[in-house]
A and B are shown apart, each in its own frame.
Chain A
């Protein structure tokens, strides 16, 4: 039975490489479970090919190989769908992270109105274009700093004066 031997070897190599990947930390154990199961089924089928015939007769498929193909296709489809789901989750998490990162980089130079108004006002009004080159550091126009007085008409509103900013 050389063909049986061949398939047993293939299944063992497959199982072994899955285990190695898990050991190396390249494959999460959560995802490895499915592949370990597939490898085990392969070994069982390689050792007891009759079991396939039995299963085919059980569900009414004439050619046992067709059952194997159908099951394989279903498995692959299922895995693809699962991966799409995972990607969607990851995309959403990445988007949330991107959102947080961008909001944090806006808020960092943002002073809380009551804390240190004396520090923030001058830095906002004497905005230097040269400082803006660093990607992380923003010359935030401090939207909150304009409000603390509660006097909308009297606000200095340094960032809202179009003529003030472009002049170096």
Chain B
């Protein structure tokens, strides 16, 4: 695929892809896509359908998004990996992950993308002074520990490393395609640890999180505990793995 590459070099504007993993999101996806379209006419939107059983695919197609239909459910990690692979093959310069449930404000997309001017990966962070997003209990502890470890690793103060609102430049897309674990939380922590250890730079941009338009956030303390243990395990494993070398495309 060298055609799109040549094209993006001719034009000045970076070719940007919005990757939206969606699994049974028929309640919200149409409005989320409509809102995105009204804000970002220049960006392509790829909905990675993670084996939805409802009308998510049809709604996304009608909304004019690129639909990448996974034959069965792979989880967010698998869907995102597939999205990055699409971005890589089609020569996108930047890719940004946006949730289908409308949690991520389309107005912030350009803010998060702007973070790529300084780093390879830009995270839209929910705790960074802006907005009223709060989490308590074990989930909170997990997030604090993860943020601390990743801040140490990346030499940048990060406060919200589990945010799914993150952008990647060409180097990061390449890295994600090489190493993007599809396991539990691999899409957020593991991939980030690996990217940082491979020499990529990270920055964070404060964003506001909105309430979900559909579905309920889980407040189950047992689940939160499981989340804590599994996320720390995932972090520990990622820290001991061998880093994959990535070549800098400077």
Contact = CB atoms under 8 A, between A and B. Distances in A.
Interface of A: 95, 98-99, 101-103, 105-107, 112-114, 127, 129, 132, 135, 138-141, 143-144, 146-148, 150-152, 157, 159-162, 164-166
Interface in B159-197: 182
26 contacts: A95-B78, A98-B82, A99-B78, A99-B81, A99-B82, A101-B71, A102-B68, A103-B86, A103-B89, A106-B68, A112-B3, A114-B3, A127-B64, A129-B62, A132-B62, A138-B69, A139-B61, A141-B65, A141-B66, A143-B90, A144-B4, A148-B7, A150-B10, A159-B64, A161-B64, A162-B63
Contacts of A146: 44
B37 A147 contact: no
Interface residues of B, number: 39
Contacts of B62: 129, 132, 165-166
A148 B13 CA distance: 13
A162 B90 contact: no
Contacts of B15: 147
Contact of A143 (B44, B58, B63, B78): B44
Interface in B82-109: 82, 85-86, 89-90
Contacts of B13: 152
Nearest to A138: B67
A33 B160 CA distance: 51
A164 B34 CA distance: 12
Contacts of B37: 160, 162
Contacts of A106: 66-69, 86
Nearest to A159: B64
A154 to B, nearest CB: 11
A98 B74 contact: yes
A94 B78 CA distance: 11
SS class of chain B's interface: helix, strand, loop or mixed?
A: mixed
Given A143-B66, A148-B7, 6 more contacts: A99-B81, A103-B86, A132-B58, A140-B67, A152-B13, A159-B64
B70 interface: yes
B141 interface: no
Contacts of B218: none
B216 interface: no
Contacts of A138: 61, 67, 69
A150 B69 CA distance: 29
Nearest to A136: B69
B249 interface: no
Contact of A105 (B3, B63, B69, B182): B69
A127 B64 CA distance: 9
A10 to B, nearest CB: 42
B152 interface: no
A138 B4 CA distance: 21
B72 interface: yes
Contacts of B41: 157, 160
